[in-house]
């Protein structure tokens, strides 16, 4: 197996030591150099031509470090240890050309996974680093109406809803759930007002429209 | 060595499935537990086998990969989906992520990328091929700039999309009704409703729309 050459770049020396220990615990990875300053890192990247640069961001205001990513990503794969999971921060790191993003405080095992994963050619974003970004990306356009309406229902109400739209009468539902028909009517009334419909016809329409029926 | 990652492959091209299966199976930490050649079969296989990772093509007959991913999340919540497709528009990407996919690779990506993608998503991380990363960044930025504006497909419910695909694949209302346990009349209702939502008046235009939006294979 070929050994991956990794260069470490972090302004905090303690962090460098930790990262080195983690990476060198893996037989397939060799740390070929370390830098605490951007200039030094740039020189080492040119001279040593590492396969992967692992660089730590201590805070979100490091514009000069984003410029480094932009420089490095042309000759090496770049894994960035982000300061926090704020979507804007993660986005700027990816925009600068990083191939891997994880949070600074994540476990060592994940750093090794990330180094291997970016070496294969794709972009690795850790679960923690991607959570807020994905949430923001997906949320605005999703079909909120049904999610909100259904989210307001209790599990019993949801159960009754499914039975109503499948065509069961209050009596039948009552028998199946071992409750009184009157309770069924109460549940049905409550769920209809939560969804915002005033009669069963409109309820069927809602169910049909949202693929529940 | 850690336990095997159990993988299911869903693609309508048997040869590709076999090739991927060989390649993945050669990894010491990956085991291919099953395959499927259309979306419906894939959902059923995921329900039965409860794999850790499902590698899913978008363009498959009967049920496309994105809607299959959505259903997989219901029948096996721990299964993580990787989309592996020829198609890679921002709409495909967006809808895949919305359906809960963790990774997205284009066909033609190196085999070792797929291996790493399997490992990454199994551990709860995200993995994208380079083109898709750029797509994600650009689309996210555009979305922030223009505010919200959905694609026409999002106006449809999951059921409507399902029926749309079967309609354009030439199934009759009775056949669709049989498959989905609905009366033909209900199917007709869905059909006219979805065409109304899309502003489409005839079947040829509907077919064109479905192909353009990757709901159904070209052939």
pLDDT 10s digits, A158-176: 888 888 888 888 899 999 8
pTM of the model: 0.70
Cβ-defined contact of B130 to A123 (cutoff 8 Å):
yes
Contact list in B for residue A113 (CB cut-off 8 A) is 119-120, 123, 125
Of B59, B113, B44, give the one whose Cα is nearest residue B34: B44
Mean pLDDT rounded to a whole number for chain A: 86
Q: Using CA coordinates, name the residue in chain B closest to A88.
A: B141
Most A-contacting residue of B116, B150, B156, B163 (CB-CB within 10 A), to test interface? B116
Size of interface A-B (CB pairs under 8 A): 113
Task: Say which residue the tokens 């409750």 belong to.
Answer: A179
Predicted local confidence at residue A59, as pLDDT: 80
Averaged pLDDT, B99-123 = 94
pLDDT of residue A142: 45
Query: Any residues with CB less than 8 A from the CB of A143 and at least 6 apart, and which?
Result: B154, B157
Long-range contacts of the stretch A71-77 (C-beta < 8 A, 24+):
A71/A42, A71/A45, A72/A41, A72/A42, A72/A45, A73/A97, A73/A98, A73/A99, A75/A45, A75/A46, A75/A49, A76/A7, A76/A45, A76/A49, A76/A50, A76/A51, A76/A52, A77/A51, A77/A52, A77/A53, A77/A118, A77/A119
Q: How many CB atoms lie within 10 A of CB B37?
A: 18
The answer to whether A142 faces chain B, any CB pair under 8 Å, is: yes
Mean pLDDT (chain B, rounded): 89
Q: Do the two domains B5-143 and B152-212 of this chain adopt the same fold?
A: no
Instruction: Tell whether the model's pLDDT for residue B183 goes beyond 50.
Output: yes
**Chain B within 8 Å of A170 (Cβ-Cβ)?**
no
Among A61, A42, A54, residue whose Cα is nearest residue A5: A54
What is the SS3 assignment for B5? strand
Any CB–CB contact under 8 A between A201 and chain B? Answer: no
Q: Where are the domains of chain B?
A: 5-143, 152-212
Q: Is A134 on the interface with B (CB under 8 A)?
A: yes
**Proportion of chain B above pLDDT 90, given as a percent:** 57
Residue-level pLDDT at A119: 94
Separation in Å, CA of B184 to nearest CA in chain A: 13
Question: For residues B184 and A29, what is the distance between their CA atoms, to the nearest angstrom?
Answer: 61
Q: How far apart are alpha carbons A80 and B108 in whole angstroms?
A: 27
> How high is the pLDDT of residue B14?
93
Confidence class for position A197, pLDDT limits 50, 70, 90: confident
Query: Which CATH class, in words, describes the domain spanning B5-143?
Result: alpha beta
CA distance A76 to B76: 38
Residue A211, pLDDT above cutoff 70:
no
Q: Which of A70, A122, A131, A210 to mutate to test the interface with B (most CBs of B within 10 A)?
A: A122
**Average pLDDT of span B108-119:** 93
Q: What domains can be seen in chain A, in order of their start residue?
A: 4-139 (3.40.50.2300), 144-209 (1.10.10.10)
Spatial distance between the Cα atoms of B102 and B98, rounded to a whole number of angstroms: 10
Residue from B120, B133, B143 whose CB has the most chain A CBs within 10 Å, to mutate: B120
Write down the pLDDT at residue B90: 86
- CA-nearest residue to B126 within chain A is A125
Whether residue A167 lies within 8 A of chain B, CB to CB, comes out as: no
- Among the residue ranges A36-40, B2-6, B37-41, the one predicted with the least confidence is B2-6
Q: Residue A213: list chain B partners with CB under 8 A.
A: 159, 186
**Minimal-distance CA residue of chain B relative to A133:** B140
Statement: B152-212 belongs to CATH 1.20.1050.10 = no
Cβ contacts of B84 on chain A, cutoff 8 Å: none
Nearest to B97 among A113, A137, A213 (CB): A137
> Is residue A124 within 8 Å of B119, Cβ to Cβ?
no
**pLDDT score for A149:** 66
Would you state the pLDDT for residue B201?
Answer: 85
Give residue-wise pLDDT tens across range B65-91. Answer: 999 999 999 899 999 999 999 988 888
Looking at the complex, does the CB of residue A213 fall below 8 Å from at least one CB of chain B? yes
- Given CB atoms, is A95 within the 8 Å cutoff of chain B? yes
Per-residue pLDDT, averaged over A96-125, amounts to 93
Encoded tokens for A10:
């972090």
Are B116 and A208 within 8 A, CB to CB?
no
Token pair listed for A94 = 């990816």
Q: Provide mean pLDDT across the span B99-118.
A: 94
pLDDT at A169: 87
């Amino acid at each position: 197996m070929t050994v991956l050459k990794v260069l470490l770049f972090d302004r905090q020396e303690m962090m460098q030591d930790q990262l080195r220990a983690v990476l060198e615990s893996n037989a397939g990875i060799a740390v070929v150099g370390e830098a605490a300053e951007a200039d030094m890192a740039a020189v080492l990247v040119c001279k040593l031509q590492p396969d992967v640069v692992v660089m730590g961001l201590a805070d979100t205001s490091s514009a000069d470090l984003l410029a480094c990513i932009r420089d490095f990503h042309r000759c090496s794969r770049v894994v960035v240890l982000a300061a926090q999971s704020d979507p804007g921060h993660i986005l700027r790191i990816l925009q600068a050309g990083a191939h891997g993003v994880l949070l600074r405080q994540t476990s060592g095992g994940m750093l090794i996974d990330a180094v291997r994963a970016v070496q294969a050619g794709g972009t690795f974003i850790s679960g923690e680093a991607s959570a807020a970004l994905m949430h923001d990306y997906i949320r605005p356009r999703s079909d909120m109406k049904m999610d909100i309406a259904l989210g307001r229902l209790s599990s019993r109400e949801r159960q009754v809803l499914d039975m109503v739209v499948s065509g069961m009468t209050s009596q039948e539902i009552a028998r199946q759930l071992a409750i009184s028909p009157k309770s069924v009517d109460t549940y049905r009334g409550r769920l209809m007002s939560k969804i915002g419909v005033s009669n069963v016809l409109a309820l069927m329409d809602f169910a049909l429209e949202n693929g529940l029926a | 060595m850690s336990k095997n990652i159990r993988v299911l492959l869903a693609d309508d091209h048997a040869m590709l499935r076999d090739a991927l299966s060989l390649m993945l199976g050669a990894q010491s930490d990956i085991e291919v537990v099953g395959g499927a050649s259309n979306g419906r079969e894939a959902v059923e296989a995921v329900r039965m086998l409860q794999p850790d990772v499902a590698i899913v093509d978008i363009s498959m007959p009967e049920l496309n990969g994105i809607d299959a991913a959505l259903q997989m999340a219901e029948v096996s919540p721990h299964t993580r989906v990787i989309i592996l497709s020829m198609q890679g528009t921002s709409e495909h990407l967006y809808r895949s992520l919305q359906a809960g996919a963790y990774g997205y690779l284009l066909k033609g990506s190196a085999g070792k990328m797929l291996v790493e993608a399997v490992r990454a998503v199994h551990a709860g991380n995200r993995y994208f091929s380079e083109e898709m990363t750029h797509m994600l960044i650009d689309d996210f930025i555009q979305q922030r700039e223009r505010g919200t504006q959905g694609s026409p497909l999002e106006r449809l419910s999951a059921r409507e999309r399902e029926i749309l695909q079967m309609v354009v694949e030439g199934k009759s209302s009775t056949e669709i009704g049989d498959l989905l346990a609905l009366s033909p009349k209900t199917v007709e209702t869905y059909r006219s409703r979805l065409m109304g939502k899309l502003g489409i008046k005839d079947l040829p235009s509907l077919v064109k729309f479905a192909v353009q939006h990757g709901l159904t294979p070209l052939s």
